[in-house]
Amino acid sequence: MALPSTPLASTALRLTREDLLRWARECGFDLAGIAPAQPLPEFKFYEQWVQRGRAAGMGYLTDHRMEARRDPRHLLNSAQSILMAGVLYKSPQPSIGTLDDPTRAWISRYAWGADYHDVLRARFELLAKRLPAGVEYRICVDTAPLLERDYARAAGLGWIGKNTCLINQGQGSWFFLGAMLLSVELPADVPPPDRCGSCTRCIDACPTQAIVPTGQAVPAWELDAGLCISYHTIESREATPEPLRAAFGSHVFGCDICQDVCPWNRRAPQTEVAEFQPRAFAPPLEQMAALTEEQFRALFRETPVWRAKYRGFLRNVCTAMGNAPRREYQPLLEQLAQHAYPAVKQHAQWALDQIAKALRE
């Protein structure tokens, strides 16, 4: 005698892989694929990366949440599949290499518009409304302990390049990732082959040489956050090590260089998403240095730049001014050299020293 089907089993019959991927596209995702909600062998690479001290001061990658990343079922006990989805964010404005103006503050392309966490979550929530009753799910947009890039690779969205970005053969690497854990087992996609080959453009172009060899075959390269411009201008709350500052150029929030030089991004499509269009494209350094905390909040509160906080942003602006030493920056820097926050004060004085040195030469 046949056993009666359980509600979950009948639900699984009503949710198909084809429907889920179609819904993802209809809800505004440019990339979508399915990975199994199981531990991945890449977790050991993550452990080794942490053990080598590559996470710098990012405690959320090394504390108790590290172990949570081992198995996605820590996030949803009933998870059997993961929908990995991406949204393109490359807008038509030029890259920093093309702009080539050291008096303009460079903000990483991903932070030009609205906060991607909110944009992607809204699309996942729209998709969740289409799920059959009884399907359990959890949405993760870069805020939960999940190895998003590894599961995106398992879902067939791309390979992980030497610059540690996920690269899609047809669409490049300019896209945001999010995940939806599902309590239904669905056929998984297949990871694509690594197509970086012998190319080392990202490694060669990194101003601080933050892409370092692992000493093993796979992965052969990894990111040392302690050398990365993005880490120091976004995550770190301390003064940047002085030997690194000159390499930062005009970067005040993040860095796109390793993506800008990637051959797979030559023909990367541009987004039409209104939320990702720039609110303040490469603003003048003088203007950014003069921002009050209230003005900073009004300009950046709903963008990723908010993560650096006002004090961190001012510290970064001082560094950029020191790398484009001009006499007209002195009055602003002299004011910032009296700032209550030690890192701002230290970077402002360093920038004044760079100006004094340039004037003597």
Contact 149, 142 (CB under 8 A): no
Q: Which of 115, 142, 150, 260 is catalytic?
A: 142
Widest distance between CA atoms in the chain: 94
Which of 266, 244, 270 is CA-nearest to residue 255? 244
Q: Among this protein's residues, is 142 annotated catalytic?
A: yes
Residue 258 sits at φ, ψ, to 5 deg, of -65, -20
CA distance 140 to 135: 16
**Cross-strand bridge partners of residue 166:** 160
Contact 292, 321 (CB under 8 A): no
CA distance 221 to 163: 8
Do you find a cis peptide bond into 92, omega within 30 degrees of 0? no
Which of 158, 162, 194, 191 is CA-nearest to residue 177? 158
Q: Which residues are catalytic?
A: 142
